[in-house]
Chains A and B, each alone.
Chain A
Amino acid sequence: MCDSQYSARVSTSQDVHLQELRRGTVVLASLLILRTPEYGYRLLESLAAAGIDVDANTLYPLLRRLEKQGLLASDWNTDDTRPRKYYETTAAGREVSDHLAADWARLNVALQELASEGKRS
């Protein structure tokens, strides 16, 4: 019983850290995917298919925030079966996502180096 309590505690703290680690990646992934216009629900599916887990109740408000910041532009499309709001990355959004992607690559290299050093010692 003690063991299961212990592992439960480890897994919840692990969840918290995973969430923190992933927080910024959703923004970057969305800006990258939305270089071609897409609507919210479909973006959610694309993100899931790409292996990026995000809850709908996080993504929808996030899209609005990015739009407010000028990184996304939106347009209602009424040609579909139901009216849908399509989001597309703006020029400013591309610039930010290039910047974020470069930093992500740099971090990736740095962390891999740290991880391999950690294994050796």
Chain B
Amino acid sequence: MATLTERYVDAAVSGVAQSQRDDVAAELRTSVADAVDDLTAQGLSPEAAEVRALTDLGDPAALAERFGGRPRHLIGPAYFGHYSQLLRTLLFVVLPIVAVASLIAQGLTDASPIEGVLSALGVVFQTGVQIAFWVTVVFAVLERSHTPMPTREWTPADLPEVVHRRIGLGETAFGISVLTLLIWALFWQRDHWQVTIDGELLPVLAPAAWSPWLVLLLVILLAMVVLEIVKYRIGRWTVRLATWNTVLNLGFASIVVVLWAQESLLSPGILEAVPGGLLNPVPWIVVAITVFDTAEGWWSLRRGSSAGE
């Protein structure tokens, strides 16, 4: 077996450039031998002196790094800014899309609501782990291959705007969840919420209403999801966002109310079949939510501009 010193030197020069390695090793060996000589002259046994000399030199991996070997960190300061920015951007953009898409996909299958949400959460988690893993691997390789990053002289113009964030992640997540559940419910009710009328099994919403009105409702709901994401990115309500919110809300409510008035939203006979007139207030609820949600956008905008700038 190699001596402790040989093992130490071998570990300390690992990662040192090949052309330098023998030179560094020879010098280190001499330095250790000099230290051992000194320590034995002070009365230590040769073995104890060797252990002591190597202990004084410390972790060979640390020494190897100082000799210009491989870094002992995964991603160093030269890359960390680029790394965390790219990772955050990817996660922020991709995960919401994956979440909504997989929930909708679950709605198209026969999965129960809980199964659907759980499996969508699983997909989101796996996607997040994959993104984080591969981005980290790429940057760890860049770090070790000393690839230069595109750098630009910093100027004060690069300073980001101060975001007076008034829209939290919780609010956005809640909004998107409600919208996604609505989208999912539209699909789900076709096969799973059926009422028997005159011996015939019918879904609550009239199948004829799908072309094109229910499809249009779906598109509006999807647009509302996008609006939630954009709103979160900006961090507060703007005139444009409030306008879009109003347009989408009005579109949704008018489709529901007009279809209801024409008695073509629900399958014929449903209203009477559902006990206690449970479905009767539906248009009123939709109108109330529309008014409230539209007003909330403008109200928040007004409050924000008077309290802020």
Residues of A within 8 A of B (CB): 39-42, 55-58, 60-61, 64, 82-85
Q: Which of B27-35, B43-51, B173-181, B189-197 interfaces with chain A?
A: B27-35
Scoring A39, A57, A83 by chain B CB atoms within 10 A of each residue's CB, the highest score goes to: A57
Give the distance in Å from the alpha carbon of A32 to the alpha carbon of B121 in the complex: 65
Residues of B within 8 A of A57 (CB): 57-58, 62-63, 66
Give min CB distance, B66 to chain A, whole Å.
4
Judge whether B149 is part of the interface by a CB distance below 8 angstroms: no
Judge whether B26 is part of the interface by a CB distance below 8 angstroms: yes
Q: A56-B56, A57-B57 are in contact. Are A41 and B28 (CB under 8 A)?
A: no
Chain B residues numbered 55-103 whose CB sits less than 8 Å from any CB in chain A: 56-58, 62-63, 66-68
Give min CB distance, A26 to chain B, whole Å.
13
Judge whether B250 is part of the interface by a CB distance below 8 angstroms: no
Give chain B's interface secondary structure class.
Answer: helix
Give the distance in Å from the alpha carbon of A84 to the alpha carbon of B68 in the complex: 21
Size of B's binding interface in residues, CB under 8 A: 19
Judge whether B132 is part of the interface by a CB distance below 8 angstroms: no
Residue of A nearest to B62 (CB): A57
Q: Is the beta-carbon distance between B66 and A58 smaller than 8 angstroms?
A: yes
Residues of A within 8 A of B186 (CB): none
Give the distance in Å from the alpha carbon of A57 to the alpha carbon of B59 in the complex: 9
Q: Is the beta-carbon distance between A84 and B66 smaller than 8 angstroms?
A: no
Judge whether B185 is part of the interface by a CB distance below 8 angstroms: no
Q: Is the beta-carbon distance between A61 and B30 smaller than 8 angstroms?
A: no
Give min CB distance, A84 to chain B, whole Å.
6
Q: Is the beta-carbon distance between A82 and B30 smaller than 8 angstroms?
A: yes
Give min CB distance, B60 to chain A, whole Å.
9
Q: A56-B35, A61-B66 are in contact. Are A85 and B56 (CB under 8 A)?
A: no
Chain B residues numbered 4-26 whose CB sits less than 8 Å from any CB in chain A: 20, 23-24, 26
Q: A41-B35, A55-B58 are in contact. Are A60 and B30 (CB under 8 A)?
A: no
